[in-house]
Chain A
Amino acid sequence: MASGFFTDTTLCIGCKACEVACKQWNELPADGYAFTGDSYDNTGALGGTTWRHVAFIESTPDAPGAPPTMNRWVMMSDVCKHCTNAGCMEACPTGAIIRNEFDDVFIQPDVCNGCGYCVPSCPFGVVDLIDHQVIQPRFASDGRTDDNAVQTHGGVAGKCTLCYDRQKVGLVPACAKACPTDSIQFGDVDELKDRARKRVADLQSRGVDASLYGVDEKTSVGDLNAFFLLTGPPAAYNLPERPVLPSTRQPAGYVSAALAVTGLALIGLALFRRESA
């Protein structure tokens, strides 16, 4: 059984309980206290120590004093997509990134050596390295130091684990558990997809422009175990319209390089080995 998330953005109220539950469960540090001015989103994006990120998109074109008919404030809890064909996993040279028994993409924190190649290889910009500096002792008042956090997090790549540790003991991921409106739904991916398709049909019949992102996709990335129901173009949510699995570009690259090298090598042989005049 493949487990995953169906994130239905029409149910999201932007409370960020998912962000906090995730950070608390995984003992991740805060990322700084900077005001962005980007609506209510002071988090900005997913990163090495932010594994759930709630996006806020405002669109308020009504003129002053006019009936408020078109105002929208869209909220969406973003997460690692746990792609069927995962760019990060393709890139990983140590085998730290694996597909676990729940078919989710998992970074083994004791194997990763922080080479950072997964970071630019994710078509969705999810995974990042965790800076050593960021891990600070947080619970110093009760004498407990944060060696464990440095061991597990410092210098390695971090992203959503789909709460692998919780799934192993039969618990639901922390974000899904905390979500008060069930915008984040956890379960068997095929069942979630069926539910999502029905939901889209229902919303469309009510005049809502709903679509699924990450289901029945024909890209080289494939379907996403963590997929979304959106009510607008993906780019507005900072999701790529057309993601590409980067490793698919390699054959063309190797062939081209081989041709170039072979050509030059032949010229070189002529230059160096022909009989001197």
Chain B
Amino acid sequence: MRELRDLSPDASARGAAAGNGVLAPLPETYYDRPLLKKPHWEWEVITYLFLGGIMGGSGLLVAITDEKKDPELSRNLRYVTFALASTCPLILVKHLGRPERFLHMLRIFKWRSAMSMGVWGLIAFSAPVTAGAIGQAARDGLIPRWLRWLHPRPLTDPLTAVLGAFIGSYTGVLLSATALPLWGIGKRHIPMFSACSGIAGACAANSLILALTGGSEESIEKLERFETFAALAELALLRDFRRHAGSIGDPMFAGARGAKLTRHTEIGGIILPAVFSVLPIHGRWKTVVSSVLTLIGGYVLRETLIEAGKNSADDPRAASRQPE
């Protein structure tokens, strides 16, 4: 054994006696504590995502529908978008930590902040949508007819559609522009299936209204067919997201929450309404049931997305190497 007397004062004592200079390795995580912070987003945000998707999808539909072919639908769309554009901001203001300061959102316009863009997008959207509601109400005789001149449709309808498309999909971008691994890895998927879900939801909501108010069956049928396209696209995107996310997707696709998503959104909200739409059943109640299933599916999707995202913040291993 090496004589310890030979140690010079400068020899590092640590490890020298045992003949190695290696220190103990450190643990892989910090007590398994979350590395990231989860957002304080509860039912207000989930509801906004859900209603905002319908709002955006409805805005898109405003331009897609031909007023002459589907006048009732066209009319409903204008009121629906206006109603949603009036209430959604209130939900958002309520969930602020300092609601009395909501106007501070207008201090800047920052295109690199999805939330800033969303705020301005909502404000921008409310302009043509309000004009649309005014014009519609004027044409419906609810308010003085001359006010219809405030609604130049060739100008406002495309704006409504483009801004509506933005509203329906920007929230997906907003989510993935955070550090949370589940949302980050879905930077392409989430905006896409959010948009699809918003459009499907808009179709479902509007066909529900038509069904309950005795509207045109032809309009309902068109909505249902469009809804099927959007919903199937949504399903395909969800399934591809599941594959792409791998284990990072577990908070969303595995366990009880994943089972709920499959049950309420994939099966209940997409497959069943699609099946209904091809079955030779007729009647308003089919539309009502089918639409409600779609809407539930849309809500559950948003809820799952938010809750699963918050969960993914808890996993320090997933949060350590963040997706590009």
Q: Direct contact between A and B in the complex (CB less than 8 angstroms)?
A: yes
Residue A71 at the B interface, CB < 8 A? yes
Nearest B residue to A155 via CB reads: B97
> In the complex, what distance in Å separates the CA atom of A233 from the CA atom of B61?
52
A60's nearest neighbour on chain B, judged by CB, is B24
Q: Given A69-B18, A93-B110, A244-B322: A115 and B96 within 8 A (CB)?
A: yes
Assembled-state Cα–Cα distance A57/B33 (Å): 13
Q: 1/0 per position for A190-213, CB-CB distance to B under 8 A?
A: 000000000000000011010000
A47 proximity list for chain B (CB < 8 A): 37
Residues of chain B contacted by A243 (CB below 8 angstroms) = 179, 322
Q: Report how far A95 CA is from B180 CA in the complex, Å.
A: 22
A247 at the interface (CB under 8 A from B): yes
Stretch at the interface among B62-70, B130-138, B252-260, B287-295: B62-70
Stretch binding the partner chain, chosen from A20-28, A164-172, A176-184, A251-259: A251-259
A264 CB contact (under 8 Å) in B35, B233, B323: B233
Known contacts A91-B178, A242-B322: A257-B26 contact under CB 8 Å: no
Within 8 A of B (CB), among A240-268: 240-244, 246-250, 252-254, 256-261, 263-265, 267-268
Which residues of A have CB within 8 Å of B192? 256-257, 259-260
B21 within 8 A of A: yes
* B169 x A261 contact (CB < 8 A): yes
Query: Are B178 and A240 touching (Cβ within 8 A)?
Result: no
* Cross-chain contact of A120 among B27, B39, B105, B113 (Cβ < 8 A): B39
Chain A residues with CB below 8 A from B311, complex form: none
Residue from B24, B25, B169 having most chain A Cβ neighbours under 10 A: B24
- For the complex, what is the distance from the CA of A157 to the CA of B64, rounded to whole Å? 42
Set of chain B residues within 8 Å of A239, measured between Cβ atoms: 35
B25 contacts which chain A residues (CB < 8 A)?
59, 232
Contact B113 A93 (CB under 8 A): yes
Question: A114 to B96, Cβ gap below 8 A?
Answer: yes
* Given A115-B115, A247-B177, A265-B60, A235-B28 contact (CB < 8 Å): yes
Cβ of A214 < 8 Å from any Cβ of B?
Answer: no
Determine whether the beta carbon of B110 is less than 8 Å from that of A74.
no
Q: How far is the CB of B111 from chain A (nearest CB, A)?
A: 9
In the complex, A92 has a CB within 8 A of chain B: yes
Determine, out of B79-87, B183-191, B267-275, the stretch whose residues face the partner at the interface: B183-191
Q: Which B residues touch A4, using CB under 8 A? A: none
B29 touches A120 (CB 8 A): no
Q: Which residue of the partner chain, among A55, A87, A155, contacts B179 with CB atoms under 8 Å?
A: A87
**Does chain B have a CB within 8 A of A72?**
yes
Beta-carbon contact of B23 and A72 below 8 Å: yes
Complex CA gap A231/B24 in Å reads 11
Nearest CB of A to B39, in Å: 4
A148 at the interface (CB under 8 A from B): no
Q: Which of B14, B26, B173, B322 contacts A59 (CB 8 A)?
A: B26
Chain B residues contacting A271 (CB-CB under 8 Å) are 222, 225-226, 229
Could you say which of B146-154, B208-216, B312-320 contacts chain A? B312-320
Which one of B23, B35, B66, B105 lies within 8 Å of A94 (CB-CB)?
Answer: B105
CB distance from A29 to the nearest CB of B (A): 16
Given A122-B36, A244-B322, A265-B60: A113 in contact with B104 (beta carbons within 8 A): yes
Residues from chain A with a CB closer than 8 A to the CB of B114 are 91, 247, 250
Mark contacts of A212-232 with chain B using CB atoms, 8 A cut-off: 1 yes-contact digit, 0 otherwise: 000000001000000000011
Q: Are B165 and A261 in contact (CB under 8 A)?
A: yes
CB contacts (< 8 Å) of B22 on chain A: these are 70
- Interface size (A, Cβ < 8 Å)? 91
A156 within 8 A of B: yes
B26 near A74 with CB under 8 A, answer yes
CB proximity of B110 to chain A, nearest CB, Å: 7
Q: Are B322 and A57 in contact (CB under 8 A)?
A: no
Residue among A113, A220, A249 with the most chain B CB within 10 A?
A249
Contact with B along A55-71 (1 / 0, CB 8 A): 10101110000010111
Question: Is the CB–CB distance between B23 and A125 below 8 Å?
Answer: no
Q: Which residues of A contact B60 (CB under 8 A)?
A: 261, 265, 268
Q: How far, in whole Å, are A203 and B99 apart by their CA atoms in the complex?
A: 51
The residue in chain A whose Cβ has the minimal distance to the Cβ of B164 is A261
The residue among A44, A92, A124, A261 with the most chain B CB atoms within 10 A of its own CB is A261
Docked-complex contact B98 and A156, CB < 8 angstroms = yes
Contact, CB under 8 Å: A236 / B30:
yes
Q: Are A69 and B112 in contact (CB under 8 A)?
A: no
Q: Are B169 and A238 in contact, CB atoms less than 8 angstroms apart?
A: no
| Docked pose: A263 CA to B40 CA in angstroms | 34
Task: Give the residues from 31 to 71 in chain B that come closer than 8 angstroms, CB to CB, to chain A.
Answer: 31, 33-41, 60-61, 63-66, 69-70
A149 at the interface (CB under 8 A from B): no
Q: List 22 A-B contacts (CB under 8 A).
A: A92-B113, A94-B107, A113-B98, A114-B98, A116-B40, A120-B37, A123-B322, A124-B36, A125-B319, A232-B25, A235-B28, A235-B320, A238-B29, A240-B35, A247-B177, A254-B191, A257-B170, A257-B194, A261-B195, A264-B196, A267-B226, A268-B64
Closest 10 CB pairs of A and B: A114-B97, A155-B97, A238-B30, A257-B169, A113-B101, A236-B26, A257-B191, A253-B173, A93-B116, A59-B24
Q: Which residues of B contact A (CB under 8 A)?
A: 12, 14-15, 17-18, 20-31, 33-41, 60-61, 63-66, 69-70, 96-99, 101-102, 104-105, 107-108, 110, 112-116, 118-119, 161, 165, 168-170, 172-174, 176-180, 184, 187-192, 194-196, 199, 218, 222, 225-226, 229-230, 233, 237, 309, 313, 316-317, 319-324
